[in-house]
Amino acid sequence: MLKGVIFDLDGVITDTAGYHFQAWAALAKELGIEIDEEFNEKLKGVSRMESLEAILKHGNRENDFTKEEKEALATKKNDHYKELIKNITKKDILPGIEKLLQELKENNIKIALGSASKNAPVILKQLEIEEYFDYVVDANQIKNSKPAPDIFIDGLKGLELKPEEAVGVEDAEAGIEAIHGAGMIAIGVGVKGDVNVSSTEELTYDVILRASQAC
Ligand code: G6P
Ligand code: MG
């Protein structure tokens, strides 16, 4: 029986995926590395430092920087990203999402956020939807990032639910793998899950309920 939903943030609740790409592409360019949208798919759901490592590897520069220099590069990307998301407001919630959050609440379904982003709490606040969330996974406390299941396991723990009582919603391949690793049913938004929707508009309470029953 469905008792909870764990949502990814970037690309599911709001379209910050484009801002992450913009900030990474700018940093990569400074390092003489070019990344395109196709490469960016591999970065979705992946932690800040692991994303940087992937970009450096892509440009054959993985051995060119010390740990401290890498920390500084990751901070630089994050400062740029924070600048880009500064003006995000309620109007940046993806279509259908707030209605869905309301419906889940009305039906006593618990809601958690399972994002790898350390900026997630600030973004939820800017979107004015923090009150819907019973639990927000703290990415600072998670050892292994997606595709490891840790974030979703922590989300289940925070909601006090078993894997079969909750579904996960993701827009990234790494995220779908993480949901499956936690033993949950995965709904893919524009990516292949157990149940698929092409956009958040299609992500209704009915779809989630049917997904939880069908699998
Ligand atoms: C999400 C995004 C990734 C991002 C990661 C870390 O998973 O999909 O693109 O790298 O969060 O975000 P942060 O805000 O902590 O750098
Ligand atoms: Mg995402």
pLDDT in tens, 102-125: 999 999 999 999 999 999 999 999
Residue 9's pLDDT band (cuts 50, 70, 90)? very high
What mean pLDDT comes out for the span 61-70?
A: 97
The CATH number linked to 126 is 3.40.50.1000
Query: Residue 122: which domain range?
Result: 4-15+89-214
From the CB of residue 29, how many other CB atoms can be counted at a distance below 10 Å? 11
Which ligand is in closest contact with the Cα of 23?
1
Instruction: Tell whether 25 and 100 lie within a shared domain.
Output: no
Q: Quick check: 130 and 107 in contact, CB under 8 A?
A: no
How high is the ipTM of this complex?
0.98
Q: Whose CA is nearest to atom 8 of ligand 1?
A: 45
Report whether residue 40 contacts ligand 1, using a CB cutoff of 6 Å. Answer: no
Last residue within a domain, chosen from 87, 102, 127: 87
Q: Whose CA is nearest to atom 2 of ligand 1?
A: 45
**What letters, b where the CB count within 10 A reaches 16 and e where it falls short, cover 55-90?**
bbebeeeeeeeeeeebeebbeebbeebeebbeebee
How many Å apart are CA 164 and CA 121, to the nearest integer? 27
Instruction: Tell whether 206 and 118 lie within a shared domain.
Output: yes
Last residue within a domain, chosen from 41, 59, 87: 87
Three state DSSP letters for the chain: CCCEEEECCECCCECCHHHHHHHHHHHHHHCCCCCCHHHHHHHCCCCHHHHHHHHHHHCCCCCCCCHHHHHHHHHHHHHHHHHHHCCCCHHHECCCHHHHHHHHHHCCCEEEECCCCCCHHHHHHHHCCHHHCCEECCHHHCCCCCCCCHHHHHHHHHHCCCHHHEEEEECCHHHHHHHHHCCCEEEEECCCCCEEECCHHHCCHHHHHHHHHHC
pTM of the model: 0.94
The CATH number linked to 82 is 1.10.150.240
Instruction: Tell whether 47 and 67 lie within a shared domain.
Output: yes
Last residue within a domain, chosen from 87, 105, 130: 87
Mutate to test the pocket of ligand 1, among 6, 9, 15, 20 (most ligand atoms within 8 A of CB): 20
Work out how many domains the chain is built from and give that number: 2
- Given a cut of 80, is residue 214 above it in pLDDT? no
- Given a cut of 70, is residue 215 above it in pLDDT? no
How many Å apart are CA 167 and CA 175, to the nearest integer? 12
pLDDT in tens, 68-101: 999 999 999 999 999 999 999 999 999 999 999 9
Instruction: Tell whether 150 and 187 lie within a shared domain.
Output: yes
Instruction: Tell whether 56 and 139 lie within a shared domain.
Output: no
Instruction: Tell whether 114 and 83 lie within a shared domain.
Output: no
pLDDT in tens, 126-166: 999 999 999 999 999 999 999 999 999 999 999 999 999 99
The reported pLDDT for the residue numbered 213 is 87
Instruction: Tell whether 131 and 79 lie within a shared domain.
Output: no
Instruction: Single out the residue of 198, 199, 195 nearest to residue 209, CA to CA.
Output: 195
pLDDT in tens, 15-50: 998 999 999 999 999 999 999 999 999 899 899 999
The reported pLDDT for the residue numbered 168 is 98
